[in-house]
Amino acid sequence: TQLLEQSPQFLSIQEGENLTVYCNSSSVFSSLQWYRQEPGEGPVLLVTVVTGGEVKKLKRLTFQFGDARKDSSLHITAAQPGDTGLYLCAGMTQGGSEKLVFGKGTKLTVNP
Amino acid sequence: EPEVTQTPSHQVTQMGQEVILRCVPISNHLYFYWYRQILGQKVEFLVSFYNNEISEKSEIFDDQFSVERPDGSNFTLKIRSTKLEDSAMYFCASSPRRRRHTEAFFGQGTRLTVV
């Protein structure tokens, strides 16, 4: 059973601070996706990382896929209150499976 | 921007009743999925559907569940006889084509409450 562990589970910071959240597994994934989910809504895709060591930037968000494709991180620079939300990582398993395995998420609160 | 749409947004049903959750995937997408999220828990895979048949299903997706693509646009999830533990958010998702790293785009979800 593939598991994705996200840390921290909760994070509360002040506007302007930087933060990093982590997504770790003992399994190798063919790709990894980051989503953001608001309460009562569906996950919204932020980025997909595919290659080990890959780094992608989305404005103030930087995503990295580990060299071994077992872990990933999301770094936010100069966080803003609009960044508040639940950040989910989801890995696509190897071996031809089409399903995504989700982590429990990191609930981020950015205080003004 | 194209999006996955789901109806209804909220469904309340009595235990033992049948429910049908409806989804309209993004129009040029080929792969379709149902996921669910019990309150406070992870998003869990239920089933994937491609070329008018189930391509993969999880242990959760037992005989009480079925999926159908009755026409060119709708994708439905039927729960034959609902149980209290079926209460959850159900998300439909679609992917543009069958390739290893394809992204899944999710709908807003249907909140199913079984009473």
- Average pLDDT over every residue of A81-94: 92
Give the CATH fold of the B5-114 domain.
Answer: Immunoglobulin-like (2.60.40)
Contact residues, chain A, for B58 at CB < 8 Å: 99
**C-alpha to C-alpha distance for B60 and B33, rounded to whole angstroms:** 14
Give the pair of three-digit tokens for residue A2.
Answer: 């593939």
> What is chain A's alpha carbon radius of gyration, rounded to the nearest angstrom?
13
**C-alpha to C-alpha distance for A30 and A93, rounded to whole angstroms:** 6
Residues whose CB falls within 8 Å of the CB of residue B24, separated by 6 or more in sequence, listed in order: B4, B5, B6, B73, B74, B75
Residue A73 CA, chain-centre distance (Å), reads 6
Cross-chain residue pair A40–B44, CB shorter than 8 Å: no
Cross-chain residue pair A101–B109, CB shorter than 8 Å: no
The region of weakest confidence among A1-5, A6-10, B27-31, B49-53 is A1-5
pLDDT tens figures, A15-66: 999 999 999 999 999 889 999 999 889 999 999 999 999 999 999 999 999 9
Q: Where are the domains of chain B?
A: 5-114
**A–B: how many Cβ contacts below 8 A?**
60
Q: Characterise B60 by phi-psi region: left (phi > 0), alpha (psi -120 to 50), beta (else).
A: alpha
Looking up tokens 């981020």 gives: A108
Closest residue on chain B to A36 (Cα): B106
Looking up tokens 């299903």 gives: B57
Cross-chain residue pair A103–B107, CB shorter than 8 Å: no
Residue A30 is nearest to which of B42, B50, B101, comparing CB atoms? B101
> Mind listing the pLDDT tens digit of every residue in chain B (115 residues)?
779 999 999 999 999 999 999 999 998 898 999 999 999 899 999 999 988 999 999 999 999 999 999 887 899 999 999 999 999 999 999 988 666 557 889 999 999 999 9
The pLDDT value recorded for residue B2 is 79
Give the pair of three-digit tokens for residue B48.
Answer: 């994937």
The pLDDT value recorded for residue B28 is 86
Report chain A's mean pLDDT, rounded to a whole number: 93
Does the A5-111 domain belong in CATH 1.10.600.10? no
